[in-house]
Amino acid sequence: MYFLKRIIFALPLLLAISFLTFFLVRVAPGGPFDRERKPASPEIERQLQAKYHLDEPVWKQYLRFLGDLSHGDLGPSLKYRNHSVNDIIGQALPVSLTLGGLAFGLALGVGIPIGYQSAVRRGRWQDYAGSLFAILMVCIPPFVLGPFLILLLGIKCHLLPVALWESPAHTVLPVIALGLYYSGRIARLMREGMLGVMQAEFITTARAKGLDEHTVLLRHGFRLAVIPVVSYCGPLLADLLTGSFVIESIFQIPGLGTFLVNGSLNRDYTLVVGLVLLYAVLLIALNLLVDFACALLDRRVRYA
Amino acid sequence: MPESPNSPGQRAWSRFRRHRLALPSAIALALLLLVVVLAPILLHLAAGSQIALRFDPERLSDAQFQPPSAAHWFGTDVHGRDLFARVLFGAGVSLLVGLVGAGVSLVIGVVWGAVAGYAGGRLDALMMRFVDVLYSLPSIILVIVLITTLEGLLKSTLEKIHAPWLNDSARLLFLFVGLGSVSWLNMARIVRGQVLSLRSRAFVDASRAMGAGPIHILSRHIIPNTLGVVIVYVTLTIPAIILYESFLSYLGLGVQPPMASWGSLIAEGADQINPIRTYWWLVACPGTILVATLLAFNCLGDGLRDAWDVRSK
C-alpha cells in the first residue's frame, strides 16, 4: 500500500522536474543553432526553428513535448542530427548501466567484508587495517585514482587497456576507479552497523544459547547490521550514475554523462530534458527498490 | 589516575585529543590556510624580484614539462608554469569554494531544520518530505544544468548593470550557491532531530512561560544548543564540497582558466597522459595535496564528532 502511494506520488514529481528543466534550458541565452557553420542565414535559422517547433510559444512546445512523451517519444536531438533522443539513450544507457552496476558490485563486494571484519576483530590489526583502508578510500576521488591507475597499470606495466569501451578488459580500470571510492564508505557504514548490533541483547541471548560465534554474528547480527548499508544504496546508486561522468571523460567511454554535459553546454534542449528525466526516473525507481529491500530485511521497519 | 575534568568543554577537549589524528589534522589545515592566505600577499610585496617571478602561477616560460626539481618543486606544466605555484593558488580557490559553500549549506540547513523541528505537525511533515524528495534526486545534475544555463543569464544581467568586474567571478558565485544549495539536506535532518529533543526541555518551557516568542526561543535557546552538532557536520561538509567542486572543474564546468582549482589542475594533468612520455607529476602533485586535505578534514570531523559525542543516524 505504502509503495503504491510512493509510485503515485512520483508522477507529479517527474512532471515538475520535466517542467522545470524544460523552461530552464530555454531561459538560457543562446540557442542550439548558434554554433552552426557560419554564416547561417536568417532564413536557414528560421526554417530550423520551424522544423523543431522552437518558434512556437514555450507553453505550446511543452504541451507538444508532453504529448510525445505520453507515447514514449522524447523527440529529436537538436545537435546530433538524424538521431532521436531515444536513439542516444538506447546507445548510451547500457554502457552507463554496466559501468555503474559493476562498480556497485565492487563497492559492496569489497566494502562489506572489510567493514564486517574490522567490527568483529575490533581493536586488532584487522580493525586498524580495515579502518585505514576505509578512510583512505573515502579521500581518494575517482578522478585522482583513475589517472593514477592509467599511469601505473596501463602505461607503465602495459597490463590493461587505458581507454574506450570494447572488451571486458576495458572495463577493469574504470570500474576499479569508480567503485573503490564507494567501498570505503560502505566499509565504514558496515563497521558502525555491526558494532551497534553486537551490543544488542539478542546477540547476548544467542551466545547464551550456546551457538558458535560464527552463527551468532553472521545469522543474527549481519542481517540487521547491513541495513544502514542497504539504505545507503539509494544515494550510492545516484552517486555512481552521476559520478561516472568523470570516469567516462577520463576513459573516453560513450556513456550518458558525456551526452548530458555536452548537451547542456550546446543548448541541446530536447537531449537535456530527456536525460534529466531519465535520471530522475532511474533514481526514483532505485530508491523505491532500496526501501523495499530494507522493509524485507527488518520487519520492524513499517512504512505508514 | 589523572584528575577528571569536570566542565563539558574540558571533557570534549580530552575526547578530541584521544582521536590520534584529529589534532595534527587541525594544525596541518591551519598551516595550509595560512600559506594560502599569505602567499598572494607576499608575492605582491615582493613584486619584480626573482622569487616572485618563480612563484608567479601565471608566468609562462620555455621550460615545459620539467620534472620536480629544486627550482620547480612540483615540476612545470604544458606552458612552463611552475606547478607548485599553481597548486598553491588552486588551493585558495578550492578552499574558498569549500568554506563558502559549506557556509551556504549551513545557513539553509540550520534554518530549515530548526523551523521544521520547532513547528512540528503538518509543516514539519511537509518540509521534511521536501528534503526526502530532494534527497532522491540527482543533485549534481541539477547543478550542472543550472551552471550551464543560468550563467549566461547572469552575465548578460551583470553587463546591463555595468558591473563587468563581477563577470569573472560569476562562475565562482554559481559554485558557491549551487554547491551550497545541494549540500544542506543532511544538515537539515540532523538539526531537526536535535531541535525535536530540545524543544520539550524544561528551559525552553520556562522561556515560553515567560512570554518569549518562537523567534527568540529558536535564536537564543535552541540554535545555540545545536552548535556542537552543526560544527561537526560543517567540518564534514567542507571536504564534500571541495570534492564536488573538483568534480565539476574536472568536467570543465568549474572555475575557468587562467584561474585554477585542484580539480582543473588534475584534469590538465590527465589530459597530458600519453603512452610515449609520462608526466606523472602533473597528476600526482595536485592529486596528493587534494587527498591529503580531504583526509585532514575528515579526521578533524571524526575527532570533533567524538568530542561532542554526536551519533549520526
Q: B138 and A279: CB-CB below 8 Å?
A: yes
Q: A246 and B290: CB-CB below 8 Å?
A: no
Q: How far is CA B229 from the centre of its chain?
A: 17
Residue A30 is predicted with a pLDDT of 66
Give the range of the structural domain holding residue B49, as residue numbers without chain letter.
8-308
Rounded CA separation B263/B171 (Å): 15
CB pairs under 8 A between A and B: 115
Rounded CA separation B300/B239 (Å): 11
**Residues from chain A contacting residue B266 (CB–CB below 8 Å):** 143-144, 147
What does the mean pLDDT of chain B come to? 81
The verdict on residue B260 lying in a domain is: yes
Q: Which member of B137, B156, B246 has the closest CB to residue A141? A: B246
The verdict on residue B235 lying in a domain is: yes
Question: At residue A199, does pLDDT exceed 80?
Answer: yes
What does the mean pLDDT of chain A come to? 82
**Residues from chain B contacting residue A27 (CB–CB below 8 Å):** 149-150, 153
The verdict on residue B101 lying in a domain is: yes
Rounded to the nearest angstrom, the minimum Cα separation between A286 and chain B is 9
| Residue B243 vs residue B75, higher pLDDT | B243
The verdict on residue B2 lying in a domain is: no
Look up the ipTM and state it.
Answer: 0.79
Helices (H), chain A: 2-27, 42-51, 58-70, 85-120, 125-139, 142-149, 168-198, 201-208, 213-215, 222-225, 227-251, 256-265, 269-297
Residue A102 is predicted with a pLDDT of 92
| Residue B49 vs residue B248, higher pLDDT | B248
Around Cβ B14, how many Cβ atoms within 10 Å? 13
Rounded CA separation A38/A59 (Å): 30
Of A100, A83, A163, A94, nearest in space to B138 by CA? A100
B214-263 pLDDT, tens digit per residue, is 888 888 888 888 888 888 888 888 998 998 888 888 888 878 777 788 88
Q: How far is CA B174 from the centre of its chain?
A: 14
Looking at residue B159, what DSSP letter applies?
Answer: H
Question: At residue B267, does pLDDT exceed 70?
Answer: yes
CATH of residue B152:
1.10.3720.10
Mind listing the domains of chain A with CATH numbers? 91-250 (1.10.3720.10)
**Residues from chain B contacting residue A235 (CB–CB below 8 Å):** 135
Name the grid cell of A99: 559501468
Name the grid cell of B110: 540550520
Burial B253-265 (b: 16+ CB within 10 A, else e): bbbeeebbbbbbb
Question: What average pLDDT does range B57-78 have in this prediction?
Answer: 73
Say what angle helices A125-139 and B280-308 make with each other, to 10 degrees.
120
Q: B141 and A279: CB-CB below 8 Å?
A: yes
**Residues from chain A contacting residue B253 (CB–CB below 8 Å):** 261
A155 in contact with chain B, both atoms CB, cutoff 8 A: yes
A28 touches A267 (CB < 8 A): yes
The verdict on residue B265 lying in a domain is: yes
B91 touches B32 (CB < 8 A): yes
A52-81 pLDDT, tens digit per residue, is 777 777 787 788 778 777 777 777 777 777
Touching B: A residues 226-255, CB under 8 Å: 234-235, 238, 241-243, 245-246, 249-250
**Residues from chain A contacting residue B136 (CB–CB below 8 Å):** 234, 238, 283-284, 287
The verdict on residue B229 lying in a domain is: yes
The verdict on residue B178 lying in a domain is: yes
Which band of pLDDT confidence, cut at 50, 70 and 90, is reported for residue B164?
low
Rounded CA separation B23/B12 (Å): 13
Q: A234 and B136: CB-CB below 8 Å?
A: yes
Rounded CA separation B281/B75 (Å): 7
Q: A143 and B246: CB-CB below 8 Å?
A: yes
Nearest CA in chain A to B133: A13
Which band of pLDDT confidence, cut at 50, 70 and 90, is reported for residue B167?
low
Question: What average pLDDT does range B150-168 have in this prediction?
Answer: 68
The verdict on residue B183 lying in a domain is: yes
Specify burial of residue B122 (Cβ count, 10 A radius: 0-12, 13-18, 19+): exposed
**CA count, 13 A, side-chain hemisphere, A22:** 22
| Residue B116 vs residue B70, higher pLDDT | B116
Q: Which are the contacts of A36, defined by CB distance < 8 A and separation ≥ 6?
A: A44, A45
Question: What average pLDDT does range A27-33 have in this prediction?
Answer: 69
A17 in contact with chain B, both atoms CB, cutoff 8 A: yes
Of B281, B276, B277, A162, nearest in space to B268 by CA? B281
Question: What average pLDDT does range A172-178 have in this prediction?
Answer: 89
Question: What average pLDDT does range B256-282 have in this prediction?
Answer: 80
Rounded to the nearest angstrom, the minimum Cα separation between A209 and chain B is 31
B179-199 pLDDT, tens digit per residue, is 888 888 888 988 898 888 888
Q: B145 and A246: CB-CB below 8 Å?
A: no
Residue B1 is predicted with a pLDDT of 43
Mutate to test the interface with A, among B157, B250, B291 (most CBs of A within 10 A): B250
A162 in contact with chain B, both atoms CB, cutoff 8 A: yes
pTM of the entire predicted model: 0.83
Question: What average pLDDT does range A10-38 have in this prediction?
Answer: 75
**Residues from chain B contacting residue A10 (CB–CB below 8 Å):** none
Lowest mean pLDDT among A25-29, A64-68, A239-243: A25-29
Rounded to the nearest angstrom, the minimum Cα separation between B213 and chain A is 33
A82-128 pLDDT, tens digit per residue, is 778 888 888 888 888 889 899 999 999 999 999 999 988 888 888 88
Split into its structural domains, chain B has a count of 1
Rounded to the nearest angstrom, the minimum Cα separation between B313 and chain A is 9
With an 8 Å Cβ cutoff, the interface of chain B facing chain A consists of: 133, 135-138, 140-141, 144-146, 148-150, 152-153, 156, 239, 243, 246-247, 250-253, 263, 266-267, 269-270, 273, 275, 278, 280, 283-284, 287, 290-291, 294-295, 298-299
